[in-house]
Amino acid sequence: MLALGKLLDLTLAGREPAEKTQLTVGGVRLRWLDQGALEVRPPEGRDNGLDLLLSAGIHGNETAPIELLDALIRAIARGELKPRARILFLFGNPEAMRRGVRYVEQDVNRLFSGGHEQSSGLEALRACLLERLAASFFSLPGRERVHYDLHTAIRGSAIEQFALCPWKEGRQPSRAELARLQAAGISAVLLQSKPSTVFSAYTCDRLDAQAFTLELGKSRPFGQNQQVDLSALRERLMQMIEGREPETDGSLQGLQLFRVDQEVIKYSEAFLLHLAEDVENFSPLQKDYVLAQDIGGKRWVIERKGTRIIFPNPRVASGLRAALLIVPATDAVLED
């Protein structure tokens, strides 16, 4: 196997490869761009016009997606997976991956779309680099641009595998995009309602990619992800890479759609979230329930029947989101 196929090993060891560019026997070109960054190009005449950005490890302790990308890279380097798409593989936060922590100083996934310009330190520099790599990769005109940013969640989830669709003014995801996600094992899609500073929002809004954050189960250490079933996602990514995706009917039957109804922001250290520590993502909340309170008499009360909660985390820093409240949406908002 080519040495660049061991991108994860190189990244965890903090080493640069001796050779920055290598070719497989089949003529696929692998190019090391930076720590945790590998570009893959198909042979001349085999390129099908898809630019596919696959990122994982934005949070260093979310290892199942990292292991998935590692397996894809190794299969390409061995010549078993034969790309027809251009691919950019990114391991988002190498230092956090090496330490087995979510982040070292600050959450990288809050530092895109201008966030790193208001900050400093290791993760701010990394977010800036990731933006530059993505912008360069998606700079070729007339090509399909897709970005999947792969994550696992801090807590368990009533809907284990789901996608977050970034907000972009004047754009809704298409049925074809969501059908592709459903075929990859995604059971629900959350439609965002405002700009954000996560990686997929940057590539969607600034680089015009079909971009999604994929949540794929619960976070576990390297080698302990046997309970995270990514077989459907792996198969769909292999099909996309090799240009052999089967057609979907676009019916989206069984795919659950939600929209963000309210953000719960932690304003001070007085913030209280009235939920059990082990509450799962997508847990339903009763109408009129007092969910949280903060300084100055600020309260969050559940206003709509059918409201659910995702990403509850009262230990975030003041000024950051402590939870999202979501409600069911209809597919009438989607583009054909």
| Residues belonging to the active site | 215
8 A C-beta contact, residue 293 and residue 300: yes
| Nearest 10 degrees: Cα torsion 193, 120, 64, 261 | -20
Residue 36: burial class (beta carbons within 10 Å; 0-12, 13-18, 19+): buried
8 A C-beta contact, residue 258 and residue 189: yes
Three-state secondary structure call for residue 39: strand
8 A C-beta contact, residue 178 and residue 334: yes
Residue 181: burial class (beta carbons within 10 Å; 0-12, 13-18, 19+): buried
DSSP bridge pairs for 52: 87, 146
d(CA 238, CA 230): 12
Q: Which is nearest to 106 in space by CA: 260, 316, 299?
A: 316
d(CA 130, CA 90): 8
* Contacts of residue 132, Cβ cutoff 8 Å, sequence gap at least 6: none
- Where do we find the tokens 């509450």? 279
Task: State both tokens at 71.
Answer: 């397996």
